[in-house]
């Protein structure tokens, strides 16, 4: 999500540059452009030498693996390698679409993404507003500081804490349930609880960090607005509703669009730790399937096909939300 934001800026720059270039194109002939380009090349050769390691990195570790996608259309054999393995066309895709796993993975990926958005998108907005309303500066600063703490912890540690807290034997949550006369719940092996656990751990570890953007937007609100509101007899709750929320709405909408665009990019690092055979029916998503069945199970062709399918869907979704956002608001990635 953060990546998308700088991309907004970069992409805009690229656009401007290419527009300038196209204006120039009309005036200068092709030949003189080639000469100019050659001179520019000579002039910036030192810069290009500096850039060389980066270029090699991008070609080798970002573009070369794209060639490897070919094995999605092949019957991959480790002895023959990527280029010599026999073609099987869409065989891997057919197998995948016809297997019962396909529908389950599709549903799980979408639902986990959807519930995550539903809960973890509003949480930092509300948190930022509550923080902003606090009149005890020390408390505000303290809670803000503490709220960043979870994002400094690794996925493994966060999951470990969640598993400890949810343990049916002596976990804090189950002790509370028992205190109120309930029966202990086996959270980690009940498929119906998985999404809740996923969303809740995400809320604990992400809310503080995500609220930073909104807190910045809140500090930009003109205090005179609140004063004017007070003069007009506006209470605190009403000024939150009529001043605070409208003021940060543009930021909120931009973030929402970015989030919707990446709804399918489910955080599978966390799922790989939290799920187990008992909860596959709700927890298994495309990327965990690629890891488990593809990489660990040695079905490289199938795994790559599933991964490709997932990336293409994600890319389409991003382009779509971007187009919609450009129509509705002025924010877009390109």
Partner 1 sequence: MVKSMLKRFTTLDYVITIILLGLGFVFLYPVYYTIIVSFSDTYNITAGNVKFWPLGFNVLAYKQILSNNRVPLAYWNTILYTAVGVMVNLSMTALTAYPLSRKNMWGRSFFMKMITFTMFFSGGMIPMFLLVSSLGMLNTIWSIVLPNAIWTYQMLIVRSFYMSIPESLHESANIDGASEFRIFLQIMVPLSKPAFATVGLFFFMGHWNNYLAPLIYLKDPAKYPLQVVLRQMLINDDTANYNLAIPDNLTPEAMKNATIVVSMIPVMLIYPFAQKYFVKGMMLGAVKG
Chain positions 288 to 317 lying near partner 1, rule: CB under 8 A, are 290-291, 294-295, 300, 303-304, 307-308, 311, 315
Beta carbons of 86 and 75 less than 8 angstroms apart: yes
When binding is defined by CB under 8 A, the residue of 128, 199, 213, 283 that contacts partner 1 is: 213
Q: Which is nearer to partner 1, 3 or 26 (CB)?
A: 3
Cα dihedral sign, 310-314-317-319 = negative
DSSP H or E stretch at residue 129: helix 122-133
Binding string to partner 1 for residues 108 to 127, with x set by CB under 8 A, is what? Answer: -------------------x
User: Which residues, including other chains, have CB under 8 Å from residue 203's CB and lie 6 or more apart?
Assistant: 119, 120, 123
Residue 79 C-beta: closest distance to partner 1, Å: 13
Q: Which is nearer to partner 1, 110 or 317 (CB)?
A: 317
Q: What is the largest CA-CA distance in the chain?
A: 85
Binding string to partner 1 for residues 28 to 67, with x set by CB under 8 A, is what? Answer: ---------x--xx-xx-xxxxxx-xxx-xx-xxxxxxxx
Count of residues of this chain found to bind partner 1 when the rule CB under 8 A is applied: 111
Compute the residue count for the chain.
334
Region near partner 1 per CB under 8 A, out of 1-9, 98-106, 107-115, 224-232: 1-9
Q: Which is nearer to partner 1, 112 or 257 (CB)?
A: 257
Region near partner 1 per CB under 8 A, out of 10-18, 23-31, 104-112, 113-121: 10-18
Helix, strand and coil percent figures for the chain, each rounded to 5: 80, 0, 20
User: Which residues, including other chains, have CB under 8 Å from residue 5's CB and lie 6 or more apart?
Assistant: 258
Instruction: Tell me how far apart the alpha carbons of residues 39 and 45 are, in angstroms, rounded to a whole number.
Output: 10
Tracing tokens 């119906």 back to the chain, one arrives at: 192
- Which residues, 145 to 164, sit near partner 1 by CB under 8 A? 145-150, 152-157, 159-161, 163-164
Beta carbons of 274 and 201 less than 8 angstroms apart: yes
Instruction: Tell me how far apart the alpha carbons of residues 263 and 257 are, in angstroms, rounded to a whole number.
Output: 10
Region near partner 1 per CB under 8 A, out of 9-17, 26-34, 95-103, 112-120: 9-17
- Which residues, 79 to 98, sit near partner 1 by CB under 8 A? 81-82
Residue 67 C-beta: closest distance to partner 1, Å: 7
Q: Which is nearer to partner 1, 117 or 317 (CB)?
A: 317
Task: Give the gyration radius of the chain's Cα atoms.
Answer: 26
Note whether 189 binds partner 1 by CB under 8 A: no
Region near partner 1 per CB under 8 A, out of 27-35, 107-115, 201-209, 226-234: 201-209
Region near partner 1 per CB under 8 A, out of 5-13, 91-99, 106-114, 191-199: 5-13
DSSP 70: G
Binding string to partner 1 for residues 216 to 255, with x set by CB under 8 A, is what? Answer: xx--x---------------xx---------xx-xx--xx
Beta carbons within 10 angstroms of residue 189's beta carbon: 13
Phi and psi torsions of 268, nearest 5° = -80, -15
> Tokens standing for 180?
């109120």
Residue 249 C-beta: closest distance to partner 1, Å: 9
């Amino acid at each position: 999500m953060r990546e998308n934001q700088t991309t907004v800026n970069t992409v805009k720059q690229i656009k401007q540059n290419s527009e300038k270039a196209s204006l120039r194109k009309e005036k200068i002939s092709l030949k003189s452009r080639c000469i100019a380009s050659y001179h520019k090349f000579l002039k910036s050769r030192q810069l290009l030498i500096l850039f060389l390691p980066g270029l090699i990195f991008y070609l080798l570790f970002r573009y070369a693996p794209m060639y490897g996608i070919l094995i999605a259309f092949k019957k991959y054999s480790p002895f023959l390698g990527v280029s010599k393995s026999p073609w099987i066309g869409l065989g891997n895709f057919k197998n995948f679409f016809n297997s019962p796993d396909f529908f389950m993975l599709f549903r799980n990926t979408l639902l986990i993404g959807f519930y995550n958005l539903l809960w973890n998108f509003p949480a930092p907005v509300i948190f930022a507003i509550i923080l902003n309303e606090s009149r005890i500066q020390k408390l505000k600063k303290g809670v803000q500081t503490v709220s960043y703490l979870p994002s400094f912890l690794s996925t493994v540690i966060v999951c470990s804490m969640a598993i400890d807290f949810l343990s049916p034997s002596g976990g804090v949550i189950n002790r509370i349930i028992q205190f109120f006369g309930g029966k202990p719940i086996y959270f980690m092996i009940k498929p119906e609880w998985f999404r809740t656990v996923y969303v809740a751990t995400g809320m604990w570890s992400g809310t503080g960090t995500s609220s930073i953007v909104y807190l910045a937007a809140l500090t930009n609100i003109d205090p005179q607005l609140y004063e004017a509101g007070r003069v007009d007899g506006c209470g605190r709750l009403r000024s939150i509703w009529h001043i605070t929320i409208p003021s940060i709405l543009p930021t909120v909408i931009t973030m929402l669009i970015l989030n919707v665009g990446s709804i399918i990019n489910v955080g599978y690092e966390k799922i790989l730790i939290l799920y187990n055979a008992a909860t596959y029916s709700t927890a298994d998503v495309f990327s965990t399937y690629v890891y488990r069945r593809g990489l660990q199970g040695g079905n490289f062709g199938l795994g790559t096909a599933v991964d490709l399918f997932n990336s293409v869907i994600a890319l389409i979704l991003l382009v779509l939300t971007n187009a919609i956002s450009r129509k509705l608001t002025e924010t877009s990635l390109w």
